[in-house]
Amino acid sequence: MTRSRLSRRNFAGAAIALGALHATGCASLSSGSRMAKTTALPVRGNYLIRNANVLTMDDSLGDIEHSDVHIRGGEILALGQGIEAPGVESIDGSGMIVLPGLIETHWHMWTSLLRGMTGDEAQRGYFPTSRGIGQFYTASDMYVAARFAAAEALHSGITFVHDWCHNVRGPEYAEADLRALASCGIRARFSYGIATAQANDRPIDTADMARLHASWDDFANEGLLSLGLAWRATEAGATGRMVPEVFRRDYEAARALGLPISVHASSNAGGAGDIAALNAAGLLGRHLQVIHGIAATPDEIQMLAASGTSLSLSPYSELRIGYGLPVTGELLAAGVPVGLSVDTTALSGNADLFAVMKVILNVENARSRNEFKLPPRRVLELATIEGARSMGIDDVVGSITPGKRADIIMVDSRSLNLGVHGEPGRMLVESAQPANVDTVMVDGRILKRGGTLTHLDVEAVVREAAGASAALLERANWT
Ligand SMILES: [Zn+2]
């Protein structure tokens, strides 16, 4: 154990040195700063994707082979065969599966600097690690972490993220996170939460949340970003169970502003009864998203469905930390809107939502001992249109429907892991990987093209994340 800690520290030190070396040697960086240059977001063009295999994820439109998709000014204008439009830039869709951008529904993006750091003993598990190091974050670390995570999201075909930020250590922390999201051009909900390890009898900074809400036009990045509450409810936090007066106050503050609310509940056996308690207090509803719900009873699942409460599943963190198996089949049978999520790359390892889809399918079939329990198309819906519905944004994105905003990805099927062209929905769930995502468009802006991010310097983003992470470990004395 000591050995591995030493080697990690040495690695961290090497990362700092490498960051400094790059900073002095790279002309694109301003003098004295190790921040990568921020380039303006690409323009919203007039594009015609030609001759693609389009999975609209819109029930009324279905799949359309050899289809064109016309996008202008950020809006999907038309789709179908043989579209002619003057002045367009053509994008060859041959060999491509075109589908709506993937919708991610719960991700603590600030923890992206902690990848690979949760250890093999209780005091170095996920919660002690994230709380122990999280207290040493600066606002700059929040910026670097959110940018690192958002870049991985875009690379992976994710066009919407729910940034569940429970390390707001001051107003500048929230603002730095929001600036990072805006600089990447991704669509997102930013949910305002506590400072990690904050005492459970202390409310969040509701005055600052209200200030952000009142000046949201300054942060919304032309409507791409929205605000919500990352709520604690009754969960056991750093200093024991939450104090009811405090969690009611946080909740009421968000409701008074009309903000959506998200909460971890019935996450594992220790949280049994959470959802019933929320229901008894009259706190469920369409404005609320519950995360995990692994310990939800059949009655509690009915409470979610009856109230319109949505649920986010993050199988890779749930499996990795030992919460148990997602109850996907029961939730879908009851009609609960379900979305899929990354949660934290400190546990899930990466932001591969294709892998998340695959494990959701495979675990459900294994639980039910039924090869045919969960059709891949149903899982693809959870990552697109139903995920959007679970976040309340299905009127804007989640399907390739004329009139919606153009959040679209193109997956190149001409690769070793996709090359035999079977049923495309099945291929996306069972075979595809982020590396197969050729093109990513958010609000009509091309943010990935030919497999490369168009406006983010990946090498710089990774270098900055490594440097920030190593410096954090030093400050936290996390040896
Ligand atoms: Zn979480």
Q: How far is the CA of 105 from the centre of ligand 1 (A)?
A: 10
In this structure, are residues 257 and 192 in contact, taking their beta carbons and an 8 Å threshold?
Answer: no
d(CA 13, CA 472): 11
Question: Are 200 and 294 within one domain?
Answer: yes
> 465 is written with which tokens?
């994340």
Would you give the distance in Å from CA 349 to the centre of its chain?
Answer: 13
Total count of domains within the chain: 3
Mean pLDDT of 162-180: 98
Is 164 in contact with 107 (CB distance < 8 Å)?
A: yes
**In terms of domains, do 78 and 30 share one?**
no
312 Cα: distance to centroid of ligand 1 (angstroms): 9
Residue 361 domain boundaries: 102-121+137-390
CA of 408 to the centre of ligand 1 (A): 26
Are 114 and 168 members of one domain?
yes
**Do 115 and 198 reside in the same domain of the chain?**
yes
Give the distance (Å) from ligand 1 centre to CA of residue 264.
Answer: 7
Residue 137: which residues within 8 A CB-CB, separation 6 or more?
Answer: 110, 145, 167, 169, 173, 472
Q: Which residues of 410-441 are buried (b: 16+ CB within 10 A; e: fewer)?
A: bbbbeeeebeeeeebbebbbbbbbbebbbbbb
CA–centroid distance, residue 343 to ligand 1 (Å):
5
Query: Rounded to whole angstroms, how far apart are CA atoms 159 and 257?
Result: 26
Say whether pLDDT at 240 is over 80.
no
Residue 33 confidence (pLDDT) above 50: no
110, 233: one domain: yes
Shared domain for 231 and 361, answered yes or no, is yes
Q: What is the pLDDT of residues 198-238, one digit of tens each?
A: 888 888 999 999 999 999 999 999 999 999 999 987 665 55
Cα(318) to centroid of ligand 1, in Å?
9
The answer on 242 and 281 residing in a single domain is: yes
Residue 440 forms part of a structural domain: no
CA of 223 to the centre of ligand 1 (A): 25
Residues 84 and 205 in one domain: no
Amino acid residing at 448: K
Ligand 1 centroid distance, CA of 125 (Å): 15
CA 237/CA 230 separation, integer angstroms: 13
pLDDT digits (tens, 9 = 90+) for 70-96: 999 999 999 999 999 999 999 999 999
Taking 3-state DSSP, the helix, strand and coil percentages for the chain, each rounded to the nearest 5, stand at 40, 20, 40
Q: Taking a C-beta distance cutoff of 8 angstroms, is the pair 465, 11 a contact? A: no
Q: Are residues 308 and 346 in the same domain?
A: yes
Token pair 């990362």 in the structure block, residue = 15
